[in-house]
Amino acid sequence: MKPKRVLFLCIGNSCRSQMAEAFARTYGKDVMEPHSAGLFPANIVSALTLKTMAEKNIPMDFAFPKPIEAALASGPFEAIVNMSGQKLPAGLKATKTEDWSIRDPIGESEEVFRAVANQIEHLVMRLILQFRNEAR
Cα gap 35→77, rounded to integer Å = 9
Q: Spell out the domain ranges in the chain.
A: 4-135
pTM over 0.85: yes
HSE toward the beta carbon, residue 24, CA cutoff 13 A:
31
User: Regarding the domain delimited by 4-135, which CATH topology (the fold level of the hierarchy) does it fall under?
Assistant: Rossmann fold (3.40.50)
Helix then strand then coil, % of the chain, to nearest 5: 40, 15, 45
pLDDT at 89: 84
pLDDT at 3: 94
CB 1 within 8 A of CB 29: no
What is the arrangement of strands in the sheet containing 32-38, beginning at the earlier edge strand? Answer: 32-38, 4-10, 79-82, 96-99
pLDDT at 71: 84
pLDDT at 136: 81
Those residues whose C-beta lies under 8 Å from the C-beta of residue 111, and which sit 6 or more positions away, are none
Handedness of CA 95, 132, 99, 13 (dihedral sign): negative
pLDDT at 40: 95
pLDDT averages per 10-residue partition of the chain, 136 residues: 93 97 97 96 97 97 92 89 91 88 96 98 97 90
CB 79 within 8 A of CB 7: yes
According to DSSP, residue 26 is labeled H
* Burial 104-116, CB ≥16 within 10 A → b, else e: bbbeeeeebbbbb
